Structure formats: C-alpha cells, structure tokens
Amino acid sequence: MTPEQRTWTRIAVAGGLLCGVGELVLAPTMDFPAGTILALLFGIAFLAGVYGLRKGRTGGAVVITVLAAVELAFMPMYTWSSAGSSGARIATTPVGSGTVKLK
C-alpha cells in the first residue's frame, strides 16, 4: 500500500467511525420507532464497513460510501427533535461521504 492509499484509508476509517458512532448516539433522538431501528442498523453497518476497510477489504469502502450516499439523499426528509441532533447529523454525514476516494 502506498503512502497516499494509507492516508485515504485512514481518512475513510475516521469518517466511517464518526458516522457509525454518530448514528448510534443519535438513534434515541429519532421521532419514530422505525427511524431508531434504522439508525441503529446504519450505525452497525458503518462500523462493519470500517472493520472491513481496516482488514484491507474494498467492500468496507463500498459500504461506507453507499451508506453515506443514502444519508445525503434522504437528508432533506429528516425531521429532528432538537437543534443538537440536526447539527450533529449535518456535520457527520458529509464527512463520511467525502472520505472515500475510489480509484
């Protein structure tokens, strides 16, 4: 692995961790039960993508990228119960989506 690839992998791992932990922390703030379950599943999937990426599997990067794209696509439809929740969601999603550089 080249130094540039190592750098991008570290950035992707950090972004995936941020999104995964953010999903798990923000899950209780969802306004409806299905949203809470979905947030928990997304958090676990983000962390699974991080695990795969740390193990050197390309699938981990794909999982992180797809989940971040879904988050961005549905962001206009979210409703939040607090300003802190919305601020955290807005901050974590673009970070995760901008971390993966596929060649």
* Domain tally, the chain: 1
Q: Is residue 38 part of a domain?
A: yes
Of residues 103 and 33, more confidence is placed in 33
Of residues 79 and 65, more confidence is placed in 65
**What does pTM read for this prediction?**
0.75
Q: Is residue 19 part of a domain?
A: yes
Q: pLDDT digit string (tens) for 25-66?
A: 888 877 778 888 988 999 999 999 999 998 888 888 889 888
What pLDDT is recorded for position 102? 44
Identify the burial level of 80 via C-beta atoms within 10 angstroms of its C-beta, where 0-12 means exposed, 13-18 middle and 19 or more buried. middle
Q: Which domain holds residue 39?
A: 3-97
Angle at 70 between CA 102 and CA 11, to 5 degrees: 40
